[in-house]
């Protein structure tokens, strides 16, 4: 089974590209969605004990947690120590299931693929990119996003240029959804999928 690592910096169109793979019938493991589920389910009580400021009336507030950990490297490490092993186990379960089902190819959608060294565990790395002006415009349209928050996120990620250097394949999403769809299909054809 070919395992593709899909990555890209914030606002580059990674989630849209992952959806295009799903359109083509390819199974995609979404690390961000997995983290959201883990926050709400498996790690909820552990997070409440470690980060009580992220809970209001018993409900988990991701925005409050993000605000707390973004400027505190130690808090971010504590959060990652809780979350990353659970995401890794979930990803392993996904791969085992796909292999058992006889899938020829699957995609791991991992925002920090290179930063966390997960590119070593995939067969092909695919980077989604767009010009920085497009990225900034997309990200600043998100609720609660500010230029300062964007800079904080980008500071924890490899540059787009470095990601493109490391990639086996690149898809530029700045040309619209139809072009990205054609590029995904071309990628799959190149693999005989």
Domain ranges of the chain: 2-188
List the one residue out of 24, 1, 7 whose CA is nearest residue 183: 24
Predicted confidence (pLDDT) per residue in 71-128, tens digit: 788 988 999 999 999 999 999 999 999 999 999 999 999 999 999 999 999 999 999 9
How sure is the predictor about 152, in pLDDT bands with cuts at 50, 70 and 90?
confident
The answer to whether residues 156 and 115 touch, using CB atoms and an 8 Å cutoff, is yes
- Please tell me what DSSP assigns to residue 173: G
Question: What mean pLDDT is reported for the chain?
Answer: 91
Residue 71 has a pLDDT of 75
Answer whether residue 193 shows pLDDT above 80. no
Confidence check: pLDDT of 14 > 90: yes
Domain 2-188: CATH class, spelled out? alpha beta
């Amino acid at each position: 089974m070919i395992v593709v690592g899909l990555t890209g910096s914030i606002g580059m169109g990674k989630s849209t590209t992952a959806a295009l793979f799903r359109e083509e019938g390819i199974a995609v493991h979404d690390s961000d969605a997995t983290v959201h589920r883990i926050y709400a389910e498996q790690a909820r009580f552990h997070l409440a004990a470690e980060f009580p400021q992220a809970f209001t009336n018993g409900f988990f507030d991701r925005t409050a947690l993000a605000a707390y950990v973004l400027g505190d490297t130690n808090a971010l490490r504590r959060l990652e120590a809780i979350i990353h092993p659970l995401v890794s186990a979930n990803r392993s379960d996904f791969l085992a299931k796909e292999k058992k089902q006889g899938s020829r190819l699957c995609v791991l959608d991992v925002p920090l693929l290179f930063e966390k060294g997960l590119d070593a565990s995939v067969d092909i790395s695919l980077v989604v990119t767009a010009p920085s002006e497009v990225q900034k415009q997309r990200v600043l349209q998100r609720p609660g996003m500010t230029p300062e928050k964007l800079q904080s996120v980008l500071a924890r990620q490899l540059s787009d240029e470095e990601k493109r250097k490391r990639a086996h394949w690149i898809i530029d999403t700045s040309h619209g959804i139809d072009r990205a769809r054609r590029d995904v299909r071309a990628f799959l054809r190149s693999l005989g999928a």
